[in-house]
Amino acid sequence: MEHENIQVAEDAYEEEAQAAIAELFEAYRAGFDDYDPHAIADCFAFPVTIWQFGRGTHFADEEELLENIEKLLEALEKEDVVHSDFEVISAHVSGTTALVSLAWSQDDREDEPILEFTCHYHLMLEGEDWRIAMIVNEA
């Protein structure tokens, strides 16, 4: 009976974590849709590392990351990206950490995809909030 109670508690924790993680990624997506660098940066823990094109970039604090986000948003604006959407490929929660893979589509005004890519996120629970600690972007 005790084992069943532990399993029920673990299942409830994972469901709660999954819901909070879904909220994190909705806020992250909305930050891109609104071209709001601060909303995007609020989704991260610091320091954070972002891997793309075979290279890892370390951001010690929000100020460093904001510079990068602003450049990214400028590039997306030039490409006429107006909406981002994602599909969860996989998600695994283990205690205060989680691994999530998302397939992204960033579309123009006609809902035509401009960019499609997959990112793998390592998340950590910071206080009561889930935050992105590392991203690996598939090229």
Encode burial over 22-60: b for 16+ CB neighbours within 10 A, e otherwise: eebbeebbebbeebebebbbebbbeebebbeeeeeeebe
Domain map of the chain by residue range?
2-137
Per-residue model confidence as pLDDT tens digits over 65-79: 999 999 999 999 999
**What DSSP string runs through 35-99?**
T-HHHHHTTEEEEEEEEETTEEEEE-SHHHHHHHHHHHHHHHHHTT--EEEEEEEEEEEETTEEE
| Structure tokens that stand for 75 in this block | 């590039």
Q: How far apart are CA 62 and CA 57, in angstroms?
A: 14
CATH topology of domain 2-137: Nuclear Transport Factor 2; Chain: A, (3.10.450)
Q: What is the pTM of this model?
A: 0.90
| Chain-centroid distance, C-alpha 69 | 13
The two three-digit tokens of residue 59, written as one number? 């951001």
pLDDT tens, per residue, the chain with 139 residues = 565 665 655 677 788 999 999 999 999 999 999 999 999 999 999 999 999 999 999 999 999 999 999 999 999 999 999 999 999 999 999 999 999 999 999 999 999 999 999 999 999 999 999 999 999 999 6
